[in-house]
Structure 1
């Protein structure tokens, strides 16, 4: 019996972590269908996102005090990993939705929390307009927030706006006249706001990670939240964002690994020098799959461990717990980056030339991993991890690791 709402029903209500995982499995099975075709033809997943958000999964981090289930971060990461395994793009689209919900939890007023959490429970999706092109660093912002009577105006241009194309609200990072950053939950239908579908990345092709243009977009004061202060004190906002990235890469790695197993079992031919009748008996192939399996299982274990550390940091945020969570998540991010790329490329080494044929769509796993793992450099994660263990130096609070 399906746990998903029927067409005549509203958004499903999830009551437990176990139920969230069961529904994620059911949704993932459906989202996997045509995933290769959507990637190949860049078919934007509007219908699939409707199914995904109506399942109730987009509301699982809403705290219990506001009517949600408030799942653990272990569960949240597993849900995202399972969806990313089905379709890497669909796994990434809600990343900044959950990020915005964490900023709301940490920095929102009770009135803002009640109103915006209620929207999410009713099935609304939040996208993002955070990053910008042409700034000195990837974390600099120029999009301006200026006062207009009892409201505000936004002017600027964003890029890498994953999910904005599909969202009812677009949380947007802005800088006021004093240089202070805020996060504005901008309604997608706002006058002067334009979402431009100009994402041309060779991977994660249907995330809609293009541009958002703001031309005198008027927003209410009640939709403006403090943002910069989330990184001026120890909060779990940074590691929460990062564990979702780790989950996406872990899911992509699992998809590449599983597809590799299936292809070698059913289609690949043994190399003549192996002396075997089947490719699945080739001793060098067995060694390679064993190597992949160990690293994949390690990534999945570190992802779960990171979720446990993040749960502790959310329950009692301080310099120690947030640093420990950030490092645990950085470890998961580092290994998930490596295994997603390794699984995506080793697949072809083991499956053989047939696996490169376009009709199989197996190249999407490596392309998705290569594009998504560029979100922030893994080399700096190793630096932060080493500095933490060797020199007792806590990582930066800005949430970049």
Structure 2
């Protein structure tokens, strides 16, 4: 049977996917070897970023394009595998991948393409802290402000960044123009003049993510670093741009699944190795516990995988995305987030009852920090309102 161009392209894509997953497995094995020691040290992810860069994962996990990048499904699989070995590094990689999409979400196609090519070529590490559109809740005004000048803007303020704040190459933020009132999306190179970093200290979990505040003092922002302008009214945002928030939260669901898988695997290995409170011989209660935890993990995986597939289809649609679709995607992501958060906290707490081993507590600590910012009740009310009334506002509210 002759090979058609489409068949050859699919084979090439499959080979690239398998190769990328093999690389992720190798990096994960390397990270797992010293995960406990690095968690205890709690240092910025300088070495971890170097490992990702040397393995080619920073260049590979950029939006898909001719001869470069990774599709959404593959990237999420890579993130989950890395997170199972070290959820801090999985968190860094998840946010890197989604923020690398910023050009497509906010800028024009030509700007986005050039940015992605440069990112892959230079192996940039991306991070960011983009707030949801809407009125600023801070009564003192926005935390980041821009003022126009002849060569672009001047940026001032400070913003907390969840990962890689001291090691990233590009930081994506939104800021309010003090003159026009426009809400602009920007990318700021870490080495830009006027950028300083204040690392977060003594974190409960996710200790190696490199969180902290970026302080911006009269930072020059040339026009090429402005990604786009965002409407104040969230209902006026382009459908494709509306995927940005749910995409980040869904990528973090894969980090949560990685935590679940890592905790279960480590507990199982301890039980098999005779280092658990109860040995696996013929203990029906032990079988029941593992059956319950494995079922919780598989249920969360099924829900997240469904949301991942729907998100992938929406991203593939691009600018032709129907105005109604983002709300449905966001509802699935909110559901996946709810189920994953519950599973991660439950599984990581229960494994502590099965074995007493140094470092096993890190899974619960990491899950707790990863899920702490997004209360389940808030999401569930939004999901319920969307289910009953089809309210787009309710779904958008779930990502505030």
TM bin (shorter chain)? 0.7 to 0.9
1:66-215 alignment to 2 at 5 Å?
A: 67-71=67-71, 73-122=72-121, 123-130=123-130, 136=137, 141-177=142-178, 178-215=180-217
The partner residue of 2:345 within 341, 344, 365 is: 341
SS of equivalent residue, structure 2 residue 161: coil
Instruction: Tell me the TM-score normalised to structure 2 length.
Output: 0.85
What's 1:252 paired with?
259
Mapped to 2, the partners of 1:215 and 1:270 lie a distance apart of: 55
Query: Which residue does the alignment assign to 2:384?
Result: 386
Q: Is the 8 A contact 2:382 2:398 kept in 1?
A: no
- Are the aligned partners of 1:257 and 1:347 in contact in 2 as well (CA < 8 Å)? yes
How far residue 78 of structure 1 moved from its aligned partner, in angstroms, is: 1.5
Which position in structure 1 is the counterpart of 2:323? 319
Partner of 2:4: none
TM-score, length of structure 1 as denominator length = 0.85
**1:45 and 1:150, CA in 2 relative to 1: closer, same or farther beyond 3 A?**
closer
Aligned residues: 373
SS at match of 1:164: coil
Deviation at 1:66, TM superposition (A): 5.4
Alignment gaps of 5+ in structure 2: 1-12
Instruction: Quote the Cα distance in structure 1 between the aligned partners of 2:14 and 2:45.
Output: 23
Distance 2:276 2:397 in 1: 50
Shift of 1:262: 1.4
Shift of 1:375: 3.0
Structure 1 residue 211: Cα displacement: 0.9
Q: Is the 8 A contact 1:243 1:329 kept in 2?
A: yes
Q: 1:270 to 1:80 in 2, by over 3 A?
A: closer
2:9 corresponds to: none
Could you tell me how far apart the structure 1 residues matched to 2:277 and 2:189 are?
A: 56
Cα shift readout 1:300-356 (whole Å, capped 9, x = no counterpart): 1222111111122221522332122112211211111011111111011122xx33x
Q: Deviations over 1:29-59 (max 9, x none)?
A: 1121211100011133322211213333234
Distance in 1 between the 2:398 and 2:58 partners? 22
Report how far residue 119 of structure 1 moved. Answer: 2.6
Residue 173 of structure 1 aligns to a residue whose secondary structure is strand
Residues 1:226 and 2:244 aligned together: no
Q: How far apart in 2 are the matches of 1:57 and 1:83? A: 11
Backbone CA RMSD of aligned residues: 2.6
Query: Residue in 1 aligned with 2:245?
Result: 238
